[in-house]
Amino acid sequence: MQVDLLAGAGYAAPMLPLRIPTVLVFDSGLGGLTVLREVMRQRPDADIVYAADDAAFPYGRLDEPALVVRVLEVMERLVDRFHPDLVVIACNTASTLVLPALRARFAIPFVGTVPAVKTAAERTRSHLISVLATPGTVARDYTRDLIERYAAGCEVILVGARNLAGLAEAALQGEPVADAEIAAEIAPCFVTRGGRRTDVVTLACTHYPLLLARLQRLAPWPVEWIDPAPAIARRTAQLLGPAQIRPEPAMTVAVFTDGSRLSGPAHIALAGFGLARIETEPLPLSI
């Protein structure tokens, strides 16, 4: 598998021609907004489409073959409608499973999101690091291969948080989320060994940085929380080539495959991310 980001290997996609690019940022829900924000900061010249397959959220409930079929089906519709020059898969679950199929199907660059194991191993001093992810990402051989390759000198705690992505989604929708619920999800990340303790936690789900301030506050001791979004945005900017000067504001739009569960606070949050225009591309989950 070719890896784009923090795992180390480069994806040798060609530089795009010098023109105003369209970037599609894709996730199952609202977690990819953390990546979108960084992409928009680094490439304010690009037209941006944020696409959320909320009809199938959360992706962890789909088995692997069904997830591959689903993402390819949704991407076919999105590429046909928006003709993006580059797609960011702002979802660890989809990236670790579907990127090869996407690259085989479409002749455009795809930038994925993988657990930032290499970065965590480089920054730890205690050699105790945690990967906070969804259960599906934790279970995949891909994640364990990253650990063997880049963190052999560390003890890596894999924490499959069953509810944290949903809690992040709920919080952004304006629903009450108790501190105790978040604290229970992150508690297994914090480990002590012979006077050493966890000092780095990598956030291996793009939803989790939505809760970063609360994660920092609820942690039993200070750690470095690694958000992969800046690295994803840097890779995106690299593949897009030099930024362009444009006379008119960039186009930004959010597209949902369901959209019926978007609350008033969610609309306000989307506007805060620069997405005041919201559309629906109906694509019900068929399984």
Active site residue: 120, 205, 229, 231, which one? 205
141: CB partners within 8 A, 6+ apart: none
Per DSSP, the three-state class of 116 is coil
- Of 91, 146, 159, 165, the catalytic one is 91
Q: Which residues contact 248 (CB under 8 A, 6 or more apart)?
A: none
DSSP three-state, residue 171: helix
For residue 230, whether the previous peptide bond is cis, meaning omega lies within 30 degrees of 0, is no
CB contact set of 53 (below 8 Å; sequence gap of 6+): 26, 27, 28, 29, 59, 70, 71, 74, 257, 283
Active site residue 154: no
The answer to whether the beta carbons of residues 20 and 46 sit under 8 Å apart is yes
Is 91 a catalytic site residue? yes
Helix (H, G, I), strand (E, B) or coil at 115: coil
Could you give the residue numbers annotated as active site? 91, 205
